[in-house]
A and B are shown apart, each in its own frame.
Chain A
Amino acid sequence: MTQMPTSNLPNRKVRREAKASRLPLRLALDRPKRNPTRSSLSRREAIFGYLFISPWLVKLVVFTIGPMLATFVLSFTHFKLGSPIRFVGLDNFARMLTADPSFWDALKVTVTYAAFAVPGGLVLALLAALLMNQNLFLVKVWRTIYYLPAVVSGVAVSLLWIWIFHPEFGLINTALCFVGIEGPGWLVDPDWALPALILMSFWAIGNAMVINLAGLQSVPTELYESASIDGANSWQKFWRITLPMLSPMLFFNLVMGVINTFQYFTNAFVMTQGGPGRATLFYNLYLFMTAFRYYKFSYAAALAWVMFLIILLITLTIFKSSPYWVYYEATRQQRKKR
């Protein structure tokens, strides 16, 4: 529970201010009183406040806002290290959209991956969490096992999966051979490389599963009990109680899934280097190659901003759609109180 300073209890004036400022009530209540700089104590507190957050402020200006603006400006130039910057207007963007098949391939690869891996991962994480929430034998052992793949990451995992996807002696094709199916070339087959990476992403759903599990366990049992009294069956309970109560977690997992897809790098770099051909040329990998292999900094800057806009668009769409399907119990209670 947040401790409120006693002098800032919500009276009508403060609540009106909070509504006007469109801040959540809790944040608004912590605002300084009128004329904060009048008292030297407040001034001292303010100075210390800025002092304490100064490391982050430095980072914000030097490593966040500055570079963001610089990337924006850079995307309209032609910049090679050592030679002076030439301003070329929309040249980079024009080239990107018309004369660069790699750009469209990168976009296609990333969007395809997002279209399959994100919803698939969400569903699997939900199913796994539902299963882990049941009264199983050795449930703690199962939860540990299910979560374990998400604990390990990095190049070690990429190498492991290169071996697993080996066309002749890898784990998957060996297992398929046992049942008489001849497995595809996976990472060396242009049609199967991306599906391979998508499959690989389903192995690490542990994080989303744990979040869903926490959500499942926080659903008040009275809801299920009263539903049983009203005669609901399991499917109805799931659809009308579990899913809505879980929707904030699903929402979070969805947004994070989309953002992480555009940051996908290590596996693509280590396992396929974007190949075969451009079958797994993820956007982030393409950007990396443009900047640090071909040293086309300004073109990479243009790519970065296009990516940013795309992510922004997708995220805003998801946020805008959220009132229709995300159910926040907390806000409902707040609304009821008024």
Chain B
Amino acid sequence: MIKSTTKSRPVLTRKVKKTASRCLLTLLALPAGMLFLAPLLWMLSTSLKDPRFVFLYPPQLIPDPVRWDNYYKALTNMPFHLYAWNTIQITVLCLIGHLLTASLVAYGFGRLRFPGRDFLFIVLLSTMMLPTQVTLIPTFVIFRYLGWVDTFMPMIVPDWLGGVPFTVFMLRQFITTVPLDLDDAAKIEGCGYFDIYRYIILPMIKPALAMVAVFVFFWNWNDFYYPVIYINSREKWTLNLALNFMKRLDPYGWAFQYVELIMAASVVVMLPCLLVYFLAQKYFMQGIVFTGVKG
């Protein structure tokens, strides 16, 4: 009898203490979480507001007449379907080229032995940290000479030439984890190096390819630097260029009266990224972790 009463009290307080500390920590996480979410919610709220209620103090948190037609107005006032198509073209072509060539190069570095391989790999790694500005101007001159300024080529071609050193590095690390026995078995069956690449390596590194695909999509969808340098004509604008034009030149100028339209357009441009994030969250996270842990 005495045993049971002395045992029950410590267990109860430990459990209560644990839950209490859990609650406390969760409460700690709450304000920061609100801070992270608030801008996005604010953007959503503004995008659905009636223009008369946008510039108000105190602000109208939940839009009262919910204006779904803001989205329609925002997307039709400039040919956004054209800009979306441009952006999609660039992104898809870059994706295909990047996945193909980066895996080819990674296979070369990861599996095949040739003199100078390690030296070249170290060169590859060091170009990872090279700032783009050092190669920018002559590259621009080259593209100008080729007549590729004001086309999509300057943004697509580099992705077909082995992609980005980081993705090659990532794929190469994955390829080195594929067991060599599979290679040997294939060689016995009479496969050449390219067949091994196509039928063995590629299927085995699908997760890594998914990670690379997510990165490339994000990088190209959100790219602003290269389009602003290379694209001049309006029909060839990407979504980011179009968004930049929506606000005209100065941030709070006359175009800013239509901030609800600007927010609506921004939401639409952000949506694919959010979609890809939620669908491919696993690969996303794995990719980010890979950069930090192996990088």
Instruction: Decide if A and B are genuine partners.
Output: yes
Q: Are B133 and A284 in contact (CB under 8 A)?
A: yes
Interface: B176 (CB within 8 A)? yes
Q: Could you say which of B46, B225, B228, B292 has the most chain A C-beta atoms within 10 Å of its C-beta?
A: B292
Nearest chain A CB to B33's CB is how many angstroms away?
5
The binding surface of chain B is classed by DSSP as helix
Interface: A50 (CB within 8 A)? yes
Nearest chain A CB to B53's CB is how many angstroms away?
11
Interface residues on B, range: 35 or more
Q: Are B292 and A211 in contact (CB under 8 A)?
A: yes
Q: When each residue 18-46 of chain B gets 1 if its CB lies under 8 Å from chain A and 0 otherwise, what string results?
A: 00001101101100110111111011001
Interface: B51 (CB within 8 A)? no
Interface: B188 (CB within 8 A)? no
Contact of B129 among A27, A64, A68, A315 (CB under 8 A): A315
219-262 of chain B: CB within 8 A of chain A: 221-225, 228-229, 240-241, 243-244, 246-247, 249-252, 256, 259, 262
Q: Are B228 and A135 in contact (CB under 8 A)?
A: no
244-295 of chain B: CB within 8 A of chain A: 244, 246-247, 249-252, 256, 259, 262-263, 265-267, 269-270, 273-274, 277, 281, 284-285, 288-289, 291-293, 295
Stretch from A94-102, A113-121, A158-166 contacting the other chain: A158-166
Q: Are B247 and A148 in contact (CB under 8 A)?
A: no
Q: Are A287 and B46 in contact (CB under 8 A)?
A: no
Instruction: Give chain B residues whose Cβ lies under 8 Å from the Cβ of A180.
Output: none
A263 to B265, CA, bound (A): 26
Q: When each residue 130-157 of chain B gets 1 if its CB lies under 8 Å from chain A and 0 otherwise, what string results?
A: 1111111111111010000000000000
Contact of B134 among A71, A153, A266, A288 (CB under 8 A): A71
Contact of A138 among B26, B38, B158, B240 (CB under 8 A): B26
Q: Are A53 and B29 in contact (CB under 8 A)?
A: no
Stretch from A220-228, A235-243, A297-305 contacting the other chain: A297-305
Interface: B9 (CB within 8 A)? no
Instruction: Give chain A residues whose Cβ lies under 8 Å from the Cβ of B42.
Output: 160, 163-164, 171
Contact of B243 among A131, A159, A166, A207 (CB under 8 A): A159
Q: When each residue 311-335 of chain A gets 1 if its CB lies under 8 Å from chain B and 0 otherwise, what string results?
A: 1000100000000000000000000
Q: Are A169 and B55 in contact (CB under 8 A)?
A: yes
246-267 of chain A: CB within 8 A of chain B: 248-249, 252-253, 255-256, 259, 262-263, 265-266
Nearest chain A CB to B232's CB is how many angstroms away?
11
Instruction: Give chain B residues whose Cβ lies under 8 Å from the Cβ of A28.
Output: 118
The binding surface of chain A is classed by DSSP as helix
Q: Are B133 and A188 in contact (CB under 8 A)?
A: no
Interface: A58 (CB within 8 A)? yes
Interface: A307 (CB within 8 A)? yes
Q: Are B26 and A58 in contact (CB under 8 A)?
A: no
Interface: B80 (CB within 8 A)? no
A185 to B293, CA, bound (A): 40
Interface: A151 (CB within 8 A)? yes
Taking A49-B114, A156-B240, A171-B42 as known contacts, 15 extra A-B pairs with beta carbons closer than 8 A to each other, sorted by chain A number, are A3-B180, A28-B118, A58-B161, A71-B135, A128-B32, A137-B23, A138-B26, A149-B39, A153-B222, A155-B243, A160-B42, A169-B54, A171-B39, A301-B137, A304-B137
CB pairs A–B below 8 angstroms (5 shown): A30-B113, A45-B114, A148-B36, A154-B224, A212-B292
Mark A residues whose CB is within 8 Å of B: 1-3, 5, 23, 27-28, 30-32, 36-37, 42, 45-53, 55-60, 62-64, 66-68, 70-71, 74, 81, 128, 131-132, 134-138, 142, 144-146, 148-149, 151-157, 159-164, 166-169, 171, 174, 177-178, 187-188, 203, 207-208, 210-212, 214-215, 218, 248-249, 252-253, 255-256, 259, 262-263, 265-266, 269-273, 284, 287-288, 291-292, 297, 300-301, 303-305, 307-308, 311, 315
9 closest residue pairs by CB, A with B: A211-B292, A52-B108, A56-B162, A49-B114, A154-B222, A49-B112, A46-B114, A59-B161, A67-B138
